[in-house]
């Protein structure tokens, strides 16, 4: 009935479409799972810095409840305190001795969630990583494309690429036990901090950024470079006035793409950022980032916390999707 040719083409088409399906389902599933939190907190979630904070709200009692309360007053006073203050249990306010207006309210304790601290932590740690890695990555790229003698290009290039192949959890281990003490010696503060997390993140994205930047620089036609040299330009001038302008778009693309990677990195940061829900006032303060909140809490979460975690995952996904999208669409179009 169907020719092999037809089937082959259909299977190929379906496989390509699967990519679209997976991406759309990631969006949809994250959104659906985050929906309770989105409905409850809305955009306040993004600017609220409390996480799992217990708040008490007074809810007026209905007439029936007042009646029920009066009849149960005796019973309450004989019960143990512990059983009354369990999570999410309405606690009847006031007691017999001070029977004032408070007694007509229910005090409900509930936990509220806001994502401001991890959002700020994610952005700051990524920015520190960029500040550290951009100059060094540019230096490596210039070295590999312009300075290194032929016999060094291959081994140094391979070494830098191997640095990119090391799993992120290894960066975390090394960062925690060896790099953090060094950072502490130089900058003071605690070993576990925004700064150490950002720097290790910087070391991680360094080879990635350097590799794409070098590839962009290598697209500069030799004729242009040779003309500049013939006019008496130094190597630095060729890099600054010929290669950088020519490869500018690709270089900016590689930086934004690396930023996208840095935003979503989990393991290297999980070891080092400290996992504390506090806005850092100092670079050497511990804080937390979105991937780390997810890594640490996903296993045991339920209810509001679960949907808040999905909310954070959704925010992170949208954020990195657009960052990477911008890099690909505007800057790295047609390059691989």
Partner 1 sequence: MRSRRLLLNKIVLILSTLSAVLGLVFLSWILITLFIKGISSLDFSIFTNDLVDGGLKNLIFGQFFMALIATIIGVPLGMMAGIYLREYGNSTYANIIRDLSDIMMSAPSIVIGAFVFAVFVAPFGSINGWAGSIALAIMLIPIVVSTTDNMLSLVPKELREAGIALGGGKHQVILDIILKAAKVGLTTGILLAFARIIGETAPLLFTSGTNSFWTTDLSNAFPSLTVSIYNLANFPTDKARDLAWGASFILTVIVLIINLIGRFLTRDKG
Residues between 183 and 202 that touch partner 1 (CB under 8 A): none
| Residue of 41, 113, 171, 331 interacting with partner 1 (CB under 8 A) | 171
Q: Does residue 303 touch partner 1 according to CB under 8 A?
A: no
Whole-number Å distance between alpha carbons of 31 and 37 = 10
Whole-number Å distance between alpha carbons of 209 and 328 = 14
Residue 319 · residue 263 · CB < 8 Å: yes
- Smallest CA-to-CA distance from 262 within 64, 130, 148 is with 130
Task: Show Cβ contacts of residue 102 under 8 Å, excluding neighbours closer than 6 positions.
Answer: 58, 93, 94
| Residue of 48, 52, 106, 174 interacting with partner 1 (CB under 8 A) | 174
Span 198-227, contacts to partner 1 by CB under 8 A:
203, 206-207, 210
Q: Provide, rounded to whole angstroms, the least separation between the CB of residue 280 and partner 1.
A: 21
Q: Does residue 330 touch partner 1 according to CB under 8 A?
A: no
Whole-number Å distance between alpha carbons of 142 and 148 = 9
Task: Show Cβ contacts of residue 161 under 8 Å, excluding neighbours closer than 6 positions.
Answer: 207, 211
Q: Provide, rounded to whole angstroms, the least separation between the CB of residue 225 and partner 1.
A: 15
DSSP state of 149: -
Count the site residues for partner 1 by CB under 8 A: 90
Q: Does residue 19 touch partner 1 according to CB under 8 A?
A: yes
- Name the one range near partner 1 by CB under 8 A: 21-29, 50-58, 64-72, 77-85: 21-29
Q: Does residue 59 touch partner 1 according to CB under 8 A?
A: no
Q: Provide, rounded to whole angstroms, the least separation between the CB of residue 98 and partner 1.
A: 47
Structure tokens at 173: 């281990």
Q: Provide, rounded to whole angstroms, the least separation between the CB of residue 179 and partner 1.
A: 8
**Which residue matches tokens 């959890």?**
169
**CB closer to partner 1 out of 92 and 137:** 137
Phi and psi angles of residue 109, each rounded to the nearest 5 degrees, phi first: -95, 135
- Name the one range near partner 1 by CB under 8 A: 17-25, 44-52, 56-64, 183-191: 17-25
Span 258-297, contacts to partner 1 by CB under 8 A:
260-261, 263-267, 270-271, 291, 294-295
Q: Provide, rounded to whole angstroms, the least separation between the CB of residue 301 and partner 1.
A: 9
Residue 211 · residue 164 · CB < 8 Å: yes
- Within 13 Å of residue 242, how many CA atoms lie on the same side as its CB? 23
- Name the one range near partner 1 by CB under 8 A: 20-28, 49-57, 92-100, 220-228: 20-28
| Residue of 142, 205, 242, 272 interacting with partner 1 (CB under 8 A) | 142
Whole-number Å distance between alpha carbons of 167 and 304 = 33
Task: Show Cβ contacts of residue 123 under 8 Å, excluding neighbours closer than 6 positions.
Answer: 263
Whole-number Å distance between alpha carbons of 176 and 270 = 10
Whole-number Å distance between alpha carbons of 183 and 195 = 8
Q: Does residue 251 touch partner 1 according to CB under 8 A?
A: no
Site mask for partner 1 (CB under 8 A), range 80-119, x = bound: ----------------------------------------
**CB closer to partner 1 out of 85 and 236:** 236
């Amino acid at each position: 009935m169907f020719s092999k040719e037809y089937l082959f083409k259909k299977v190929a088409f379906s496989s390509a479409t699967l990519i679209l399906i997976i991406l759309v389902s990631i969006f949809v599933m994250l959104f659906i799972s985050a929906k309770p939190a989105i409905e409850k907190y809305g955009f306040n979630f993004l600017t609220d810095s409390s996480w799992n904070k217990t708040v008490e709200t007074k809810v007026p009692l209905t007439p029936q409840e007042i009646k029920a309360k009066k009849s149960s007053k005796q019973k309450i006073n004989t019960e143990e305190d512990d059983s009354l203050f369990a999570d999410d249990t309405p606690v009847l306010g006031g007691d017999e001795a001070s029977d004032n207006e408070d007694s007509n309210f229910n005090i409900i304790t509930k936990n509220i969630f806001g994502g401001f601290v991890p959002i700020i932590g994610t952005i700051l740690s990524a920015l520190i990583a960029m500040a550290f890695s951009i100059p060094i990555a540019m230096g490596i790229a210039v070295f590999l494309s312009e300075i290194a003698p032929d016999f060094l290009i291959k081994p140094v290039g391979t070494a830098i690429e191997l640095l990119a192949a090391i799993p992120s959890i290894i960066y975390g281990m090394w960062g925690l036990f060896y790099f953090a003490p060094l950072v502490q010696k130089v900058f003071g503060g605690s070993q576990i901090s925004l700064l150490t997390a950002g720097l290790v993140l910087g070391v991680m994205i360094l080879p990635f950024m350097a590799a794409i930047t070098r590839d962009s620089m290598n697209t500069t036609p030799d004729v242009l470079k040779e003309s500049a040299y013939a006019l008496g330009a130094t190597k630095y001038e060729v890099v600054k006035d010929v290669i950088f302008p020519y490869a500018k778009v690709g270089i900016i693309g590689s930086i934004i793409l690396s930023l996208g990677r840095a935003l979503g990195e989990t393991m290297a940061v999980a070891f080092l950022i400290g996992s504390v829900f506090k806005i850092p006032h100092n670079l050497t303060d511990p804080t937390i980032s979105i991937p780390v909140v997810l890594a640490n809490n996903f296993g045991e979460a339920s209810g509001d916390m679960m949907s808040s975690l999905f909310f954070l995952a959704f925010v992170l996904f949208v954020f990195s999707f657009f960052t990477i999208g911008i890099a690909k669409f505007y800057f790295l179009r047609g390059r691989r």
